[in-house]
Amino acid sequence: MSGVTRAALLLVLLVTVAVLLMQTMTASVSVGLIGLTQEDNPQWWATRPVHNESAAACAECHEETNTAVRASAHATVDCESCHGAGDEHIDLARSGQDAPLVLTDARDLCVTCHAALVSRPDGFPQVDPATHGAPDSGVTSSCESCHNAHDPGFPPDIQHTLGGRSDCLACHGPDQWEPLPPSHADRPGDGCLSCHSAKEQT
């Protein structure tokens, strides 16, 4: 074999080794750098922090409330649906610190689900916020004064703390939630409480 042939063979060998080396050592490194492999990324996504805890976490401290809610007409409503993500509140409470959880105006929250909208499914309990329980209807502007959001009942189990015929008719008037029976149509306007006693009077 001549010197030239040997030199050529050696060159081919060296080039092959160099190419293979570059491919193994640099290619996969740079592919990872510019983004053609995704090895770690699903893990990055999977390890994002959880902010909405669960009713079970709330029940660690609020067992009684949670038990009532789960047995109520709001059984399928998660605590955080109304109260918002609870992670900060729960972290503070678990470490024994003061953990205020301010709920925004409950009336706004209630109407988010219960204001009458033509787009909502028929049969879902809805009221017109302009007339139902509004100040001029003789009741009050706060849903919670009649309804208990943690145990609303269906039909709503009203806390009967009201006195006087006009207040009764706010809910039991002809077009209201639970109208009086026809036999009551000609009864005097101020005498409900002479026959009926409110379930719970204050």
Partner 1 sequence: MPISRRRFVKLGAHAAFGGLLVYTLRGVLPKPGAGTADAEVDSAYDSYRPEDHDWAFVIDTMKCIGCGRCARACKQENGVPWEPGCNRTWVERYCFTADGEVHVDSPEGGINGFADEPLPEAIRDKEITKSFFVPKLCNQCDNTPCVQVCPVGATYKTADGIVLVNRDKCIGCRYCIQACPYGMRYLLPDEGVADKCTWCYHRITRGRLPACVEACPVGARKFGDLRDPESAVSKILAERNVSVLKPDMGTKPNAFYLDLDGAVV
Binding site for partner 1 (CB under 8 A): 10, 13-14, 17, 21, 24-25, 34-36, 38, 41-52, 54, 74, 76-78, 80-82, 84-85, 111-113, 115-121, 124, 129
Which residue, 26 or 197, is less far from partner 1 as judged by CB?
26
In the complex, what is the shortest distance from the CB of residue 85 to partner 1, in angstroms, rounded to a whole number?
Answer: 4
State in angstroms the smallest separation of the CB of 170 from partner 1.
21
**Nearer Cβ to partner 1 (50/195):** 50
User: Least separation, in Å, of the C-beta of 133 and partner 1?
Assistant: 14
Alpha-carbon torsion, ordered 145, 58, 115, 117, to 10 deg = -160
Q: Classify residue 20 by its DSSP letter.
A: H
Distances (CA, A) of 69 to 16, 89, 157, 191, 199: 73, 19, 14, 36, 22
Nearer to partner 1 (CB atom), residue 123 or residue 188: 123
The owner of tokens 């006009």 is 166
DSSP string for residues in 61-93: T-HHHHHHHHTSTTTT--HHHHH---HHHHHHH
For partner 1, which is the closer residue by CB, 87 or 165?
87
